Amino acid sequence: MTQQHEKLSAFMDGELSDEGFIDSIKNDSESLAKWRSYHVIRSGLRKEATVMPEFDITAQVAAALEQEATVLAPKSKWKSLPVVSSVVPFLRQSGQFAVAASVAAAVILGVQQVNQPTADDSFSTLQAPTIRVSGMPQAGMAPVSLEQSNILPGNRNGDIEAMLQKRRQINALLADHEQQLKLKQAEEHPKQATESDPNQP
Amino acid sequence: MTMFTPTNKIKRTARAVRLLFLASVFCVTPASFAQTSPPPDEPAAPQASVPDEETQRGLSGFEWFEQLAQINRTANFEVSFVLTKAGQEMVPYLWRHAVLENGIEAEQLNLQNGPGQEMIRLGNVVSVFEPDLQPYSIYSDAISGPIPGDLLYNPAALQEAYQFITIGRTRVSGRAAQQLRIVSRDSKRYNYQVWLDEETGMLLKLDMVDLQGSLLEQIQVTGVNVSELPSPYFARINPQALPGPVAMTPKPRQHQWEVNFLPVGMHEIKRETRRLAMTGQVVEYKLFSDGMVDVSVYVQPAQESLDSDVVLRHSTNTFLSLTNGQVQITIIGKIPPQTAYEIARSIRAAGE
């Protein structure tokens, strides 16, 4: 059974070019269901889910196909494409675990969100630290793509907690910036009044 | 002129009469303004407006903005505009301005979608009403909205950083318009395209474009109504019901670091040390402005920092954060990432 699933997965990745395999799925209702759900999961993972899991059109398609004349066309083999054939071994390696792994990640994410340190934790910075800037950031940073968010590789410990923490800090800074702009003119006002005197001829 | 249908022409004529009236009022003090009688419907008025427009066409870029500033301070108007940012939904605003009978300027800016946001200015007190926040008032002689205050009221303050260039005549919001560009003097900031109503001088459209010329942010006026009398809305405001103004007294703090690179015409307007509201982290903060854009610089100890360098764009703001092991430097503002990087790299310990 497991072997059948593995073959199914490989077939989805375009790796298996066994002519008889299609027929073997077609005749196995369990494999058919698996085939469908694999596709739903895959499109979901790719964020292109146009197929709702409960919206099963395969039955209607099958009915429609029954009426249709058989079209005989040369079967395209993905393996014959040079790019695909070099990519596929990688897909085969990771693809079979992709679903399970992503479920695990989602679970961890859920736990982490529950166990997020509360906002009070970071209030432990009691005294204002003196800040010394003795050196300069040496990170070799090239001009980046303006369109997309980039998190430059600095520390490779792509920890999810660190990620959330990072996001929280970025949001805190952005929110503070917006707040400062709102109050800017209020604080600018008295300052301008005092500064305008020396500027006047 | 020729593009208008006869019915529009009548409306335009009526408007022109009002404008002429307004123009004559500009020379008078605001107090006497309210006592002036409504304008007589003289047939001579439309003809009189023609030479007026001829001279307007010869205005320099800066003179156009001076005229805009004068109108924004003295006219009674109601403007609807939408704010669009790349990749975001457009946000509609209603903006009213009036000079009241007692000579006090009144202004209102209302965000029209969702729970909204209302800002009301009477004289030099701005009251802010926002969902989820206690209403508050601050001392300010301009509402801080999506249109830069210096552009609306104080174009002279922009001249150090930007050049004003007239482009030509076009049509915007159904009106004959004068197109202008606001170009940064050092190409370290984004540039702007502005369209002003040829007849009234009011703002019709404002585009912020990046250095490659693609649109980042746009303000498009969808309706303008200039009137002789203040909008009845302002009569309904009860000044006693507004929250009392909070005096902001900035405490200048000494920081042990300095920013050594800034775009031309950008100056420090604030420095302080405080806690971030969301995380409670202590930050040292400086705010810089060139009149069109504001740039925040944060410096905080690296042990509570992001642990890696980050560059991202949040709506039209560039967010750049560098860590060098001891401190984290963060730059936020509507500036190109390259400029943010240059600013961040220019920070040195004071006296070094």
* Min distance B110 CA to chain A CA atoms (Å): 15
Q: What is the mean pLDDT of chain A?
A: 57
- Give the Å distances, CA to CA, from A51 to A39, A43, A47, A64, B102: 9, 8, 11, 18, 65
CB-side neighbour CA atoms (13 Å) of B174: 10
Q: Which of B211, B248, B328 to mutate to test the interface with A (most CBs of A within 10 A)?
A: B248
| CATH-assigned architecture of domain B51-246 | Clam (2.50)
Contact B280 A125 (CB under 8 A): yes
* Min distance A159 CA to chain B CA atoms (Å): 11
Question: CB under 8 Å to B163, separation ≥6 — which residues?
Answer: B61, B182, B183, B185
Main-chain phi, psi angles of A102, to 5 degrees = -70, -35
Residue A171 lies in a domain: no
The number of domains in chain A is: 1
Q: Between residues B40 and B288, which one has the greater pLDDT?
A: B288
Set of chain A residues whose Cβ sits within 8 Å of the Cβ of B294 = 180-181, 184
Q: Are A177 and B289 in contact (CB under 8 A)?
A: no
Amino acid, res. B58: G
**Residue A87, pLDDT above cutoff 90:** no
What is the pLDDT, as a whole number, of residue A48?
62
Q: What is the mean pLDDT of chain B?
A: 82
* Min distance A132 CA to chain B CA atoms (Å): 7
Set of chain B residues whose Cβ sits within 8 Å of the Cβ of A151 = 308, 310, 312
What is the pLDDT, as a whole number, of residue A56?
58
Question: CB under 8 Å to B24, separation ≥6 — which residues?
Answer: none
Residue in the structure block whose two tokens are 């610089």: B297
SS (H, E, C) B202-259: CEEEEEEECCCCCEEEEEEEEEEEEECCCCHHHHCCCHHHCCCEECCCCCCCCCCEEE
Beta bridge mates, B179: B168, B195
For the residues B217-239, what does the mean pLDDT come to?
91
Q: Return left, alpha or beta for B168; rule: phi > 0 is left, psi -120 to 50 is alpha, else beta.
A: left
Residue A78 lies in a domain: yes
For the residues B95-123, what does the mean pLDDT come to?
91
pTM more than 0.80: no
Of these ranges, A172-176, B26-30, B211-215, B339-343, the one predicted with the greatest mean pLDDT is: B339-343
Q: Between residues A162 and A93, which one has the greater pLDDT?
A: A162
Contact B311 A150 (CB under 8 A): yes
Q: Which of B215, B336, B10, B294 is nearest to A145 (CA)?
A: B336
Q: Which of B125, B299, B308 to mutate to test the interface with A (most CBs of A within 10 A)?
A: B308
Contact A136 B301 (CB under 8 A): no
CB contact B288 to A (< 8 Å): no
For B239, the token pair is 């000044």
Contact B306 A139 (CB under 8 A): no
For B189, the token pair is 């900031």
Interface predicted TM-score (ipTM) of this complex, two decimals:
0.77
Beta bridge mates, B274: B283
Set of chain B residues whose Cβ sits within 8 Å of the Cβ of A144 = 311, 337
* Min distance B345 CA to chain A CA atoms (Å): 7
For B190, the token pair is 């984004």
Set of chain A residues whose Cβ sits within 8 Å of the Cβ of B325 = 135
Nearest by CB to A185, from B149, B249, B298: name it. Answer: B149
pLDDT tens per residue, range A61-71:
777 766 665 55
Residues 121-150 of B with CB under 8 A from A: 124, 126, 128, 138-142, 144, 149
What DSSP string runs through B8-23? HHHHHHHHHHHHHHHH
- The residue segments making up the domain with residue A13 are 2-114
Contact A180 B314 (CB under 8 A): no
For the residues B282-293, what does the mean pLDDT come to?
92
pLDDT tens per residue, range B292-316:
999 999 998 887 666 678 888 888 8
At residue B181, the 3 state secondary structure works out as strand
CA–CA dist A148, A154 (Å, integer):
18
CATH 3.30.200.100 fits B257-349, yes or no: yes
Contact B285 A180 (CB under 8 A): yes
Set of chain B residues whose Cβ sits within 8 Å of the Cβ of A155 = 307-308
Contact B279 A169 (CB under 8 A): yes
Set of chain B residues whose Cβ sits within 8 Å of the Cβ of A140 = none
CA–CA dist B237, B268 (Å, integer):
36
What is the pLDDT, as a whole number, of residue A132?
32
For A122, the token pair is 């970071």
Of these ranges, A88-102, A119-133, A184-198, the one predicted with the greatest mean pLDDT is: A184-198
Nearest by CB to A173, from B324, B332, B341: name it. Answer: B332
What is the pLDDT, as a whole number, of residue B116?
85
Contact B296 A122 (CB under 8 A): no
Nearest by CB to A186, from B138, B280, B314: name it. Answer: B138
Q: Where are the beta strands (DSSP E) in chain A?
A: 150-151
CA–CA dist A33, A39 (Å, integer):
10
Residue B12: CB atoms within 10 A of its CB come to 18
pLDDT tier for residue A6 given thresholds of 50, 70 and 90: confident
Amino acid, res. A35: W
- Give the Å distances, CA to CA, from A189 to B107, B123, B124, B230, B243: 17, 13, 10, 26, 19
**Residue B4, pLDDT above cutoff 50:** no
Main-chain phi, psi angles of B351, to 5 degrees = 80, 0
Set of chain A residues whose Cβ sits within 8 Å of the Cβ of B276 = 172-173, 175-176
Domain regions of chain B by residue span: 51-246, 257-349
What is the pLDDT, as a whole number, of residue B266?
93
pLDDT tier for residue A185 given thresholds of 50, 70 and 90: low
For the residues B126-144, what does the mean pLDDT come to?
88
Angle between helices A19-26 and A2-12 (to 10 degrees): 120
Alpha-helical (H) ranges within chain B are 6-26, 30-33, 44-57, 61-74, 149-153, 232-235, 337-345
- The radius of gyration of chain B from alpha carbons, rounded to an integer in Å, stands at 23
CA–CA dist B18, B2 (Å, integer):
21
Q: Between residues B184 and A147, which one has the greater pLDDT?
A: B184
pLDDT tier for residue A110 given thresholds of 50, 70 and 90: very low
**Residue A139, pLDDT above cutoff 80:** no
Q: Between residues B108 and A29, which one has the greater pLDDT?
A: B108
Residue A50 lies in a domain: yes
Main-chain phi, psi angles of B84, to 5 degrees = -120, 130
pLDDT tens per residue, range A15-60:
776 667 777 777 777 777 887 777 777 777 776 655 555 555 666 7
* Min distance B77 CA to chain A CA atoms (Å): 23
Nearest by CB to A181, from B126, B210, B294: name it. Answer: B294
